[in-house]
Amino acid sequence: MQKYMRWSAALFVLMLVLAACQSGGGSSPSASLDASEPAESEAAESQPAESQSAGGDPTAVCEADEFGCVEIAEGDLLELGTALVITGENESLGLDSQYGAEVAREMRPEIAGHEVEFNHQDDGCATEGGTAAANALASEESIVAVIGTSCSSAGIAAAEILSGEGIMLVSPSNTAPSLTSEESHQPFYARTAHNDKIQGAAMAQFVCEELQLTTAATIDDGSAYADQLAAVFVEEFQSQCDGTITSEEAVTVGQEDMGPVLESIGTDSPEFLYFPVFVAEGALIAQAAREATGLEETIIGAADGVFSPDFLAAAGEDATEGMYLSGPDLAFSGDFYEADFLPAYREISGEDDPTSVFHAHAFDAYNMLADAIEEVAIQGDDGTTYIPRTALKDAFFAMSDYEGVTGTLTCDEFGDCADARISVSQVEGGEFNRIWPEE
Amino acid sequence: MARVASSPRRFNLVTVFLWLLGGGLIAIALLGAFLTLSKGRYSIENWETFIVSGIALGSVYALIALGYTLVYGILFMINFAHGEVFMFGTFTALFAARFMADAGLIDSQPVLAFILVVAVAMLVSMTVAVALERIAYRPLRNAPRLVPLITAIGASLFLQYSARGFYGSGVNAYPEFAPLEGTTNILGLTLRTDQLVVTGAAVALMLALYLFVERTRTGRAMRAVSEDKDVAAMMGIDVNRVIMITFAIGGLLAGVAGVLYIQLFNQVDFFMGFLPGIKAFTAAVLGGIGNIVGAMLGGLALGLLEAVAPFLILDGFGIASPNQLKDAIAFTVLVLVLIFRPSGFLGRKENV
């Protein structure tokens, strides 16, 4: 026993030392390490940042900024983090956004005269993953801003950590209302994805007006996204068309046996069943809904969390045929999207087509960040670029009428930047067919 | 004074508190059940569905739990990688079934195809389990008990992420077997065919295992090794061989459990061994770890609890989304059982 104690004590001390080393290394300006390297592209560089930043003396600006500056020595890389769900059951969602951001980088490889490098982290589509990814990124002084997270649960955790460090976090696919609500908005958080207040309302409107249904039940999985979206739907369904909600059920993430919960919902035979969850649970619910007593005539619907070919593959054609899914309106696809974006996307992903619907939001997030960075970046005398963190945030939040791929984006004071347009698609023969609203 | 000192256990405050807690929880459960039933929201058919799906899932838990319990009975270690043995069974079944679906065998000879899928899954799971024993556990047989435990967790992660590397991290849909779809009428009850087959197969296997352990020479050898390895070795029993057979049987059962599980839920992914593994381990503890009959009962009890209890107990109190609390109920029951019967329902009998 004594021996174990001694070993574990030694291990503990070692861990403390290591942790101290890491934070010690991190707190010195990261640029100083790299400054000794000769800049390769010195001659080729036209230094666009210089013209844009009449900001004056960088030292004064950085000292005045609450969170200081990111310093990037001449010729060094500008580092952007991503925190997206890139492994596991929901990877189709996160990888899709990651490819979107990479397409944007390919088309705009330099920001403020520096080549851009990504630091990819996994948000795990959960609070724990968001915390881990945010901590990993926050420990790097050189991270200018972060694109993420994929899932709202992860976003709530990550926004708090990164805002504490003054690092801008822009999400391409968080949709939970609480992230940008007055009470719980984190100062350095913004998103290019729609707010689920709009998605939930759109789905309720579709069910009321288009399908003419009056009773509905909901299932969420306890995640911030599903919980809040289901709640918005319930509220809107009751207020828009005086609909009746027969039950608001919940399953747990990782649950496989959906039979009993659907049987319970079936006791009231709702006309519509709405389950805005993620791929694995969504597929199981869709399958079990076909077998539960009382749900034989029930029309089923879900949201953008399962808007992916992965979902159709997991649930099978029988279970999903005819169901409705809401999501961002892909009718935005103008010439640029078809002609330039998609070919670049396919090349980067090595796949045929996007696996989810938020790649364009990630693309816009990258470009808006790039614009904001170039607006505030200051060029020092020695060629070092200074990016004041609070000024970057302010510049981002001040963006208005930005012409992006997903529409015309304008940020409000709580970080909702999206030009939110929701459409509803129906699954027919293993394909998503956009059916509402009419174009 | 002397009286109190001589019988400290009878008036132990903690014991009294625990009894009150247990009694209170049972009273709440009964009250909840009464309220739910008097509300009459669920029909007899609903209860039937809850119970049948609980039994089907529970019998799969039981099959996996047997793997935990057999190994514990002989080696006194928890094989935390057992969930992954199960997961490899499901992946094998997935590929076998896809291959047969492409070859048209599932449509023309569904019963033969099903048996083949089960056989292949059993074989692969058995191989994984035996390899696990040979590579990860046998070299550590005489190490302190904590060592194989940590190794098991490592092996579990290794297998999990190997599967992720081999097969990717997406969710795969399992093809359907036409004869197992739909419903069957038995004794006036309309039951889902797949649940019926799953339960039947699981119960048959459990019976076979019980007879194997109780009636055959190898079974007797297993019991002897479980009692005392050294003495068994002196009696001429090849202990290594018996341990390997034990792992093989556990793997075999996990393979079948894998096929049955995806017959119910139609989905395969690399992480799917984790939760059923934990649940089955719980079932094994609930029934009394090391006890074969206990594992069977524990599995069935856990499955039933999960399917029925949220609706029976919580619905009556008007608690929203009762289903989400099913794990909470299941584990509360586990805690209660362990408080009052620390060795599970049946305790640890000395027969494996």
**Whether B271 and A89 lie within 8 Å, measured CB to CB:** yes
- Of A87, A250, A257, Cβ closest to residue B307: A257
How many CB atoms neighbour CB B164 within 10 A? 16
**Whether B170 and A267 lie within 8 Å, measured CB to CB:** no
Per CATH, domain A51-193+334-420 is 3.40.50.2300: yes
What percent of chain B lies above the pLDDT cut of 90? 54
Q: What does DSSP assign to residue A171?
A: E
pLDDT in tens, A44-89: 344 444 444 445 688 888 989 999 999 999 999 999 999 999 987 7
**Whether A89 and B321 lie within 8 Å, measured CB to CB:** no
**Whether A259 and B49 lie within 8 Å, measured CB to CB:** yes
Nearest Cα to Cα of residue B82 among B323, B220, B275: B275
Distance from CA of B215 to the nearest CA of A (A): 36
Evaluate the omega torsion of the peptide bond into residue A320 and state whether it is cis, within 30 degrees of 0.
no
Give the whole-angstrom CA distance, residue A422 versus residue A172: 15
**Whether A249 and B172 lie within 8 Å, measured CB to CB:** no
pLDDT in tens, A10-29: 555 555 555 444 433 333 33
Burial state string for B43-76 with b = 16 or more CB within 10 A and e = fewer than 16: eeebebbbebbbbbbbbbbbbbbbbbbbbbbbbe
Beta bridge partners of A69: A388
Tokens at residue A193, please? 């994805």
What does the mean pLDDT of chain B come to?
89
ipTM above 0.90, yes or no: no
Q: Which residue in B has a C-alpha nearest to residue A254's C-alpha?
A: B275
Task: Return the pLDDT at B176.
Answer: 81
Q: Which residue in B has a C-alpha nearest to residue A291's C-alpha?
A: B182
Chain A residues with CB-CB distance to B45 below 8 A: 293
Distance from CA of A122 to the nearest CA of B (A): 14
Chain A residues with CB-CB distance to B276 below 8 A: 256
Tell me the pLDDT band of B15, cut-offs 50, 70 and 90: confident
Distance from CA of B265 to the nearest CA of A (A): 7
Nearest Cα to Cα of residue A115 among A154, A144, A150, A88: A144
How many CB atoms neighbour CB B348 within 10 A? 15
Dmax over Cα atoms in chain A, in whole Å?
Answer: 74
pLDDT in tens, B263-284: 988 889 888 999 899 999 999 9
Domains of chain B listed by start with CATH number:
51-302 (1.10.3470)
Residues 6 or more apart whose CB falls under 8 angstroms from that of A377 comprise A49, A52, A53, A112, A385, A386, A387
CATH of region A197-322, choose from 3.90.1640.10, 3.40.50.2300, 3.40.50.300, 3.40.50.720 = 3.40.50.2300
Residue A33 has pLDDT above 60, yes or no: no
Distance from CA of B74 to the nearest CA of A (A): 26
Tell me the pLDDT band of B347, cut-offs 50, 70 and 90: confident
The top-scoring range by mean pLDDT among A96-110, A424-438, B338-352 is A96-110
Residues 6 or more apart whose CB falls under 8 angstroms from that of A73 comprise A31, A32, A34, A35, A39, A383, A384
Q: Three-state SS for B290? A: coil
Q: Which residue in A has a C-alpha nearest to residue B45's C-alpha?
A: A293
Identical fold for domains A51-193+334-420 and A197-322, yes or no, is yes
Chain B residues with CB-CB distance to A86 below 8 A: none
Q: What does DSSP assign to residue B138?
A: G
> Worst-scoring range by mean pLDDT, A126-135, A199-208, A216-225, B7-16?
B7-16
For residues B36 and B55, is the Cβ–Cβ distance under 8 A?
A: no
pLDDT in tens, A290-332: 888 899 999 999 999 999 888 998 888 888 999 999 998 876 6
Q: For an interface test with A, give the residue of B45, B49, B278 to mutate (most A CBs within 10 A).
A: B49
Tell me the pLDDT band of B154, cut-offs 50, 70 and 90: very high
What percent of chain A lies above the pLDDT cut of 90? 67
For residues A100 and A363, is the Cβ–Cβ distance under 8 A?
A: yes
Q: Three-state SS for A170? A: strand
Give the whole-angstrom CA distance, residue A395 versus residue A169: 13
Chain B residues with CB-CB distance to A248 below 8 A: 320-321
- Average pLDDT for A179-188: 94
Tell me the pLDDT band of B180, cut-offs 50, 70 and 90: confident
Nearest Cα to Cα of residue A299 among A323, A282, A281: A323
Domain locations along chain A:
51-193+334-420, 197-322
Task: Return the pLDDT at A32.
Answer: 37
Q: Three-state SS for B246? A: helix
The DSSP-derived string for A99-135 is HHHHHHHHHS-EETTEEEEEEEEE-TTSHHHHHHHHH
H/E stretch holding A355: none
Residue B165 has pLDDT above 50, yes or no: yes
